[in-house]
Amino acid sequence: MSQAGTLKCCDLAAGQQQRMQLPGTTPPVKKQLRNDRSRFGAANMISAVYAQSEAEGILNRHRRIFSAFKNYVILSSTGGAAEPLPPLPQKRAMEYRNWSKNDIRTSLLGYGCMRFPTKADGAIDEERAEALLNTAKAAGVNYFDTAYPYHNGQSEPFVGRVIARWDRSSFYLATKMPLWNCKSLDDAKRIFEEQLQRLGVDYIDFYLLHSLHNARYEKAKAMGLVDWLWQQKAAGRIRNFGFSCHDNSAGFEYILRDQPWDFCQLQYNYLDRDDRAEEISGDRGYQLTEECGVPLIIMEPIKGGTLASLPADAAAPLHALRPDATDASWALRWVGSHNNVHVILSGMSAEEQLTDNLTTFSSFQPLSPAENAAVESVADELHRRIKVGCTGCRYCMPCPMGVDIPDNFSIWNKLGMFGQKDAIRQQWTAHFPDAEKACHCVRCGKCEAVCPQHLPIRDSLAKLQTELDSL
């Protein structure tokens, strides 16, 4: 696809750094590692090397990370001076997308702050997470997305402590209103003020109504919440007002056309394209954003990580074209090849994930026709492995016995498409409520009478219970 509305930030002449100071970019850092020892632990010291090296080649980056860690150990144990590091190539190529108003330029890669590394007790591992955020920012990422409930309410306060050390004009901050916590407009006002305090800012660059569907949106409008948030934008406390949506294309279209939104956020990836499911607007949702001229931010581009670890035989068409490219990079490039996508959120919880994503979005390349065909063939193969053709429309619900029929089918289909038996076993045994499992089906047939796909639901439920229990 064409790259209208994109900007690449890189060196324009040998020996002369001509860099635009966009949110998220920083001038070169030239510091001796020994001077940083007192302020950085090992993880943050590695982050400092990223800031110095910025977006150099991945092999050089790995070499310098190892060197930084070695020097940190030497300095910590002996107090001696580190060997000087060799000079670095000065190059930057993070992909940015231009917005049509307000002179906004966002990095195509956005940092989702929902999946930070955690400690054994579930708390955010703040040293590692801060190093990840600093590394991303130094490499050119300038969009950071959090929300009120992330990490049991700890994401916003943690992010606030990190960004307090950054130039406020150097990044864009996004967070969201948790509508399910708002029983009244006063609740919403209190939460909004709490969010500003948690984040330590006096304005939010991108503020969203969180996880909208039609009924939730109507409730928010009726309590005056939507109008009040537009007033906050007029007062300068919100710079851009939008919403994230978990509805089908019809529900999404109603919400999209109802307000002069500055942007919206959708789940979109090369598997979630069918708009018949209850919570997915698919290709039609993307097309609607283009028709309405509303810039789009993407969540779940790797489908919760499942597209980062494909079965080898299913991924063969991708590996034949680019043997060294990761499965995750293909999913991200597919999304980024759509012109109206302005930010792709990735919840990076590990250093190797960040490194891989920075490689993908440095010198970003849209998919070629041959590559797009390869992705389509992978998607077709994965869909052929589906155990049962449930679209998630939920016409079968509620089940009189409490069985969550679509969720049972969803986990079974993941097993069929991706394998990943260990992950599926953990989800089935530790996270899927027993009261909602297929074993409670009494074969009344009510579900099959209303299923628009005419699926053999009763037999399928019995089969999936046996198969998942045997993992």
DSSP-derived pairing of the beta strands 95-98 and 105-107: antiparallel
- CB atoms closer than 10 angstroms to residue 308: 18
User: With the C-alpha atoms ordered 288, 290, 296, 300, is the resulting torsion angle positive or negative?
Assistant: positive
What is the model's pLDDT at position 393?
Answer: 81
The residue whose two tokens read 């400690």 is 119
For 10-33, the pLDDT digits (tens) are 333 333 333 344 554 444 433 333
Nearest partner of 57 among 84, 11, 25, 89, judged by Cα = 89
Amino acid 84: pLDDT:
45
Tokens of 34: 């020994």
Give per-residue pLDDT as tens, 298-339.
Answer: 999 998 888 999 999 999 999 999 999 999 999 999 999 999
pLDDT at 65: 39
Mean pLDDT of 73-95: 49
- How large is the average pLDDT for residues 374-401? 93
Cα–Cα distance for residue pair 107/98, rounded to 1 Å: 9
Q: pLDDT over 90 for what percent of the chain?
A: 74
Q: How confident is the model at residue 5 (pLDDT cuts 50, 70, 90)?
A: very low
User: What is d(CA 462, CA 446) in angstroms, rounded to the nearest whole number?
Assistant: 16
On the question of pLDDT at 35 being above 80, the answer is no
More confident site: 235 or 101: 235
Query: What is the dihedral angle through the alpha carbons of 150, 155, 157, 158, rounded to the nearest 10 degrees?
Result: 170
Write b or e for each residue in 210-228: b if 16 or more Cβ atoms lie within 10 A of its Cβ, otherwise e: bbbbeebbeebeebebbee
SS (H, E, C) 126-148: HHHHHHHHHHHHHCCCCEEECCC
- Pick the closest to residue 304 from 420, 196, 467 (CA basis): 420
Six token digits for residue 320: 């034949």
Exposure of 464 in the CB half-sphere (CA atoms within 13 A):
31
**3-state class of 229 per DSSP?**
helix
Other CB atoms within a 10 A radius of the CB of residue 129 amount to 23
Place of tokens 């942007």: 263
> What are the distances in angstroms from CA 435 to CA 2, 189, 393, 399, 431?
49, 37, 21, 12, 12
DSSP three-state, residue 115: coil
Rounded CA-CA distance 1/127 in Å is 40
State the distance between the two ends of the chain, measured CA to CA, in whole angstroms: 42
Give dist(CA 104, CA 106) in Å, integer. Answer: 6
Distance CA 348, CA 44 (A): 16
| pLDDT, tens digit, 9 for 90 and up, residues 151-185 | 999 999 999 999 999 999 999 999 999 999 999 99
d(CA 25, CA 106): 11
Query: How many residues comprise the chain?
Result: 471
pTM: 0.77
* Least confident window among 47-51, 449-453, 464-468: 47-51
pLDDT at 18: 38
Q: Measured between alpha carbons, how far is 4 from 420 in angstroms, rounded to an integer?
A: 38
pLDDT at 470 over 80: yes
Convert 361-419 into a string of H (helix), E (strand) and C (coil): HECCCCCCHHHHHHHHHHHHHHHHCCCCCCCCCCCCCCCCCCCCHHHHHHHHHHHHHHC
**Would you tell me the crossing angle of helices 327-336 and 351-361 to the nearest 10 degrees?**
40
